[in-house]
Amino acid sequence: MDGTSDLQARAEGGVMNKGRRTANRILDAAEELFAQNGHGATSLRDIAAKVGLQQPALYKHFAGKDDLYRQVYERALKPMTDLMDEVLARPEADFADLTDGMTDLLAQHPNIARLLIRAAISSDSEPDTIGLDWLARMVSYGRRMNEKAGLPSSDDSLAVQIVAIFNMLFGFFWASPLIESLSGMKATDAPAMAIQKGLLRGFVGSLSGTSQQRPDQPETV
């Protein structure tokens, strides 16, 4: 069982059965292929071949390609919206915990960053409606987080802030090949993750006028 599947099994309170493990393998393969090739250019046959299954076996777990695509997003991003709901429900938000937590969650599904960017630039003639729906949800949470932090809420400033945070959070994983070519580290390696968390805390802290640096993390320059 891989690290992601193990984390999910613990979250569900036990060891996954064979069906759940197979479904997760299918989701892992689908996430990677959708990110590489896009929804339209990825077939169920491609996904089945990557997992080592016959295409009909996928229908035991998913109704079709759109259902599989939707569940790829759900698996990766629902834990993030749950975390943001938890932070929003607190009397005072800890944005350092939030950015650290979102970074850790994205590290479990780094390909979702490329999927969201694909959705953002999808054409009007062929919109990625599932991805765009998730983008709209994330923007809505961004607005609520801004209100929680008491940040300027004009349309212009809010748009730029949300895009900047989106780029810092998701772009880090989308650009993992560049990080690796420049430093030899993958985005999900512990040293790179520590630097990313520090940069995010500093950026969010600069927006809210508070320091997000934590004593157990190295300072960034």
Give the integer Cα–Cα distance in Å for 54 and 46: 10
What per-residue confidence (pLDDT) applies to 152? 60
Among 146, 137, 104, 142, CA closest to 119: 137
In this structure, of 43-57, 71-85, 122-136, 196-210, the range with the lowest mean pLDDT score is 196-210
What per-residue confidence (pLDDT) applies to 7? 44
214 confidence band (pLDDT: 50, 70, 90): very low
Q: Is 119 exposed, middle or buried, given 0-12, 13-18 or 19+ CB atoms closer than 10 A?
A: buried
DSSP letter assigned to residue 123 = -
Give the integer Cα–Cα distance in Å for 32 and 10: 23
Tell me what percent of the residues of the chain surpass a pLDDT of 90: 59
Q: How confident is the prediction for the chain on average, in pLDDT?
A: 85
Spacing of C-alpha 102 from chain mean position: 8
SS3 49: helix
Residue 55, pLDDT > 80, answer yes
Give the integer Cα–Cα distance in Å for 8 and 186: 22
Give tens-digit pLDDT for 134-169. Answer: 999 998 888 888 888 777 666 677 778 888 888 899
Give the integer Cα–Cα distance in Å for 50 and 57: 13
Residue 27, pLDDT > 80, answer yes
Tokens representing 162 are 């949300």
Q: Which residues contact 185 (CB under 8 A, 6 or more apart)?
A: 179, 191, 192
What per-residue confidence (pLDDT) applies to 95? 80
Mean pLDDT for 77-81 is: 96
Tokens representing 14 are 């036990």
Amino acid at 54: Q
- Residue ranges and CATH numbers for the domains of the chain are 64-208 (1.10.357.10)
What per-residue confidence (pLDDT) applies to 10? 44
In order of 26, 101, 187, 197, the CA distances from 201 in angstroms are: 34, 11, 17, 6
Instruction: Name the phi and psi angles at 111, rounded to 5.
Output: -70, -15
3-class SS letters over 179-199: HHHHHCCCCCCHHHHHHHHHH
Residue 218, pLDDT > 80, answer no
What per-residue confidence (pLDDT) applies to 208? 65
In this structure, of 28-32, 51-55, 65-69, 145-149, the range with the lowest mean pLDDT score is 145-149
Highest mean pLDDT among 10-19, 120-129, 188-197, 203-212: 188-197
Q: Does the predicted TM-score (pTM) go above 0.75?
A: yes
The residue length of the chain stands at 221
What per-residue confidence (pLDDT) applies to 129? 93
What per-residue confidence (pLDDT) applies to 190? 95
What per-residue confidence (pLDDT) applies to 16? 64
Residue 3, pLDDT > 50, answer no
DSSP letter assigned to residue 13 = T
